[in-house]
Structures are given as structure tokens and as C-alpha cells.
A and B are shown apart, each in its own frame.
Chain A
Amino acid sequence: MLMKTLLAFFRRDMTVQLSYKFAFAFDVFSVFFSAATFYFVAKLFGQAAIPALQRYGGNYFAFVLIGIAFATYQNVGLNSFSQSLRQEQFLNTLEPLFLTPVSLPKFLVGAGLWDFFYATLEVVLYLSLGFLLFGLRLPQANLPAAGMILLLTLVAFMGLGVLAAAFILRFKRGNPVTWTVATVSELLGGVYFPTDILPPWLHSLSVLVPMNHALLGLRKSLLLGAGWSDVGPHALALTVFSVVLWPVGIAAFSLALKRARKDGSLGHY
């Protein structure tokens, strides 16, 4: 029943997405232009950026490509559930959905499944373009370690997304979770530059940012071939984020749902 429910959501969202013929083509172009832009930024920096990047293998293009590719998951995690919820409210399909015997966690995971799959396609596209056109090489990559970090990253970001969706259900617009996490991650997430170059007090705050742990773990495993002992602390941090964010997110969403069922605002947008 779990798989059937999740597949139903996946099939629905895939069919809707594929019905927009040009959307996929535009996404491919966006990924290409983004990768190309950072390739030339990396060329501009040349050797200058290398000292700060020694810990990551010294190649800025490889560093930033992994950053922007995997940051996609955070964007999806933060926006997928809440956008899906708003879309259901807009289409008047939220109430019919809540009339089906699908439990809240299943509904939430199902609602974001296609977006996470699509984000994975984007990540693959980023890396493939990097390999094929821009000379990206990951000779030391430890793929099992990277896979584990990726899985934990997805679960942690989904937890953030559930919390964000609770705010959308309650307040409709203006989502403090998405805004705060997205804004803080810009500076402290380490997408475009290593957080080591930040002042020590700011660098110490980056420990609290899930994106920072996700990217540190992924870069260490993909660029340096780091093993379990090196990525372990980041895996642990992501696990802690998940263990905290999921129950808090589900509790917040349940409260928001109960409130919406009391004030009749379930389908409002």
C-alpha cells in the first residue's frame, strides 16, 4: 500500500510535468548555462583560488559544480512540499486528497517524490555536462560514501520541507522556514566558497547549517575519495538534523492541518 500510494503521486506528478513539453528543455538549458558560467568563473580565478581550496582538491570548477548541483536538493526540499500544497489548494484538489485514507507522512513524502527525482536528474545532468564539456574529473570518488551522504541529505532536506509546508498550510504565504534556511545557506552553506574562509565566529555558525554538512560530506567523498571515518561526522550531523526536523515538521504540519480543519481554511490559498 505504501509503494502504491507513493507511485500514484509519482505517476501523477510525472504525467503533469511531461505534459509541459518545453519545461524540460528549458531546465536542460538552465543547467548548461549555470555550469558554463561557473566554468568561466573558475577560469577567471585561475590559480588564485587554489590555496583556499586545497582541502577540496584545488579545483574551483569541481568544487562549485558539486555545490550548485547538490544545492538543488535543498531548494527542492524547502519548496517542493509547500509548492505542492499551494498547487493543490489552487486546483481545489487538497480537500479530495484529504478525503483519501492516506496518512500524513505518506502524503508528505508522496507529494515531494517526483521533485526529488527530478532534482536527481538535474544533478546527473550537471555532473554529466561537467564531465563531457568542461573537463570535470572525479578520479578518487568514493561513491558509496557519497551515496550515503546524499541519502541522509535528502531525508534532512525533506524534513525541512515538511516544516516549511506547515507554515504554508497555516499562513498561506510568507514562509519563515524557507526564507531563513535559504538565506543563511547562501552565506554559510558553502555552495560557492569554502566556509573555512569565513571569520572564525561565522564559520562556527556554519556547523548549524544542514547544507554545509551535506556539501562537506559530498565534496570530501567525491573530490578526495574520503572514507567513512572522514564523512562520518557529517553523516552524523545530517542524521541529527533528520531526527529533529522530521518529528518537528510532522507535529507542526498536524497542528496546522487541525487548525485548518477548525477554521475551514484547508482549501484556501
Chain B
Amino acid sequence: MPSLTVSRITKSFTTGKTVKTVLSDVSFDVPEGETLCLLGPNGSGKTTLLKIVSSLLIPDAGSVAIDGRDVLADILGTKRTLGFGSSEDHSFYGRLTVEQNLRFYSDLHGLSRADRERRMGEMADILEIGAILKTPFRELSSGQKQRLLIVRALLHDPRIVLLDEPTQNLDPNFSARLREYLTSLSRPPRPKTFLISTHHLDDAQKFSDRWVILSKGSVRFSGSVSTELRRNPGMTVDDLFRKSTEAVVPC
């Protein structure tokens, strides 16, 4: 059974008398332990889709299910299962230290002190937050804030992790280490499922072979990149992305 199933999601926003359709009939699934990259140019609906998957937004039509269970039917259960690293890198309390911020969120997730320290200890080395634990959040660099977003998303050991532009503001070396770490988390015995949005082809290629390319709110490509390239000799990932995101001219 797929871990995460997105079925026929449609979402519009209304501003005054203008209705803008942001997502239209989007469907895909991500089996347990797999990583799926959500690609698309800015404004293609990636972040909106992640917010719908996380239950922060309610779709106009369609549904999202985890292990076959609708995320909106058990919102508190969904929140325990999901971790969401948004691209909003200021979403912490500036006057609290990194440690105080993480303690606050771990308490809200119901982690015991031992669990919190174990989780933070694990990630402190890998995501290089050990040295900044006592630093007020407002004094962090953009890269450090970005790392903290990822730590918060993983803190309660969720089975499904949504990451919106996770390598934004990170240097190439750290991005590589992050990819390596996330890959290690998708392996048994407790394989995590990742849905990662990015608009960087390089990043996406390194994260996963399975892509969903969105353009103007619709799925333009869904599947294995390597299979697609094999099927179309001479085609590059750039070609695939360009072809998928080109404006569709109505006949």
C-alpha cells in the first residue's frame, strides 16, 4: 500500500472577483521509504500542494491519504505522522535560543526529555546545530535557519517528511551531507517517506529518480526520470523539465 496518496487535488484562491486555480487534478503516490521530488517553476503550486498534504490547507476537491486514511479525517494523527520543513526560514521565535525553540516544539509533540535529547543529539552533529544551540534564533545566518527548519521537521521522528526547497541557502557541501542524511533515513528498519519540492534540477536529480513536474498547477510529468531518458535517447533532464513546463498553447 502506498504510504502517501494524493488523489485529484484541485485548489483555487479567490481574490476579489478573480479566481485563480493553483492546482488542477493533481494525483500521485509515494510508497513507503521512497523519495519523490516535486518540481516546477515558481508559482507552479508546489508549496500549496505541500500545505494541502500537511493539512494546513483544505483542497477544493480531491484528497490526501496516509496509508489509505484521509489526512483530514484524523488531523492530530496526521500531525504526528508528518513533518513539514517549510521554506519560511523566519518561522521561529527570534528571542528564544535554538535549544529553547526546539524544546518548545518537541514539548508540543509530546517528546520526553530523553527522546528530545536523543533526537537533538543525533541531528546536532549531522546538521551542525550543536554549536548554535545557545544562540538566539534572530542571530542565526540564513543557512543556519534553514538547517533548523529541517531539524524541526524531523524532531518528532515522523514517518512522512515534506520539505519545501530544503537546500535553499545551504552551501554545496552541506547540501550534499543533507542529501546523504535524508537518504539514510529512508532505509529500513524505519524507512521515512520524503516529498521534496525544489526548482533546482541538480538538487532533484541527486535526491531522487522519481519526479512529479508541475506547471501552472497541473502534473506535466510523473514517473522515473531515468526511464523517461532511456525512452527518449538524446533527451536531457533539462529538456524534460523544459518540455514539461512549456506553456501549453490551446489548439
Contacts and interface: CB of A to CB of B under 8 A. Distances in A.
A200 interface: no
Contact of A93 (B55, B76, B80, B91): B91
Contact of B108 (A5, A16, A19, A263): A5
Nearest to A103: B76
B90 interface: yes
A98 B56 contact: yes
Contact of B82 (A95, A99, A263, A266): A99
Contacts of A16: 93, 95-96
Contacts of B201: none
Interface stretch (A6-14, A140-148, A243-251): A6-14
Interface string A65-104: 0000000000000000000000000011101111111110
Interface of A: 1, 4-5, 7-8, 11-12, 15-16, 19, 91-93, 95-103, 258, 261-264, 266
B107 A4 contact: yes
A164 to B, nearest CB: 23
B13 A264 contact: yes
A162 to B, nearest CB: 19
B146 interface: no
Contact of A91 (B51, B94, B100): B94
Given A8-B104, A15-B100, A100-B79, A95 B13 contact: no
Interface in B12-61: 13-14, 48, 51, 54-58
A261 B71 CA distance: 14
Contacts of A95: 51, 56, 86, 88, 91
Interface of B: 13-14, 48, 51, 54-58, 76-77, 79-80, 82, 84, 86, 88, 90-96, 100, 103-105, 107-110, 152
A124 B152 CA distance: 39
A96 B105 contact: yes
23 contacts: A1-B110, A4-B107, A8-B103, A12-B93, A15-B100, A16-B95, A19-B95, A92-B90, A92-B91, A95-B56, A95-B88, A97-B108, A98-B56, A99-B82, A100-B79, A101-B80, A103-B76, A261-B55, A262-B57, A263-B13, A263-B14, A264-B57, A266-B57
Contacts of A93: 91-93
Contacts of B100: 11-12, 15
Nearest to A20: B95
Which of A12, A96, A98 counts the most chain B CB atoms within 10 A?
A96
A19 B94 CA distance: 11
A96 B86 CA distance: 9
Contacts of B103: 8, 11
